[in-house]
Amino acid sequence: MFGMEKGKEESASKTIFEMETDLKKHPHKKKELLTEMHSQLEHLKGQLRKGSKHEEFENMGFVLHGYSALIKVIDRIN
């Protein structure tokens, strides 16, 4: 099956984003990014609570999921 080869298991567990290598070189940027992402996340949540047009609501939802995924990636970095 696709992706079930023996070599794929090792490479899938070691996926490294370019951002990870940059943040490992500059650890102070990790804290700055996290605070910025959390503030943007709270701002978006506030906008969603206010309510808006259906189209804007969907777009804000997509951006909200993107920010939360980015925060997960940044938190994963040691």
At 10-53, the pLDDT tens digits run 555 566 778 888 888 888 998 999 999 999 999 888 888 887 77
pLDDT confidence band for 6 (50 / 70 / 90): low
Q: State the pTM of this model.
A: 0.65
Supply the pLDDT for residue 15: 65
Question: Is the CB of residue 71 less than 8 Å from the CB of residue 41?
Answer: yes
User: Which run of H or E residues covers position 66?
Assistant: helix 54-76
